[in-house]
Amino acid sequence: MREHGDAGYVLFDTRPGGEPYLYEVHYARLDGRWSEGSSSNGPGWNLLDPDTGLGVATVWGEAPPGADRVRAELGDERREEPVVNGVYLVVWWDVPCPAMPASATSFRVRDEWVLGPTWRGGAPQI
């Protein structure tokens, strides 16, 4: 879960105990109560404020076995976040819709940074 002002974001594993199936849900708080907004089974960008055109960008997924940290980029900005239970999540708030989506660029596995995964057949490969 990530929270930013009256915006919230939750990444769910909808298949606990087996191979993860990740699903994101965006929330908005109005008068102290949270309401579900859009949802998706893939990361990306979601509009938060129609007046400014700003939103939230996300990148998430399964990390390689043994990874404990992820580095991700959105445009010129790089972020580093922990890997939790084999899954990574990186969030950028109050950003315009990017020309290119955010991407995981590398993972720390046993104290060594390795290149981010490429996707072949639905399974991450390093």
Give pLDDT tens digits along the chain (126 positions).
999 999 999 999 998 788 889 999 999 999 999 999 999 999 999 999 999 999 999 999 999 999 999 999 999 999 999 999 999 999 999 999 999 999 999 999 999 999 976 433 344 444
How far apart, in whole angstroms, are the C-alpha atoms of residue 26 and residue 114? 31
How far apart, in whole angstroms, are the C-alpha atoms of residue 40 and residue 44? 9
Strands (DSSP E) found in 54-99: 54-62, 67-74, 77-84, 87-96
Q: Is the dihedral of CA 82, 20, 96, 114 positive or negative?
A: positive
Q: Is 85 left (phi over 0), alpha (psi -120 to 50) or beta?
A: left
**Residue 76 backbone phi and psi in degrees, to 5:** -90, 0
Which positions ≥6 away from 63 have C-beta within 8 Å? 70, 83, 86, 87, 88, 107, 124
Q: Any idea what DSSP says for residue 15? A: S
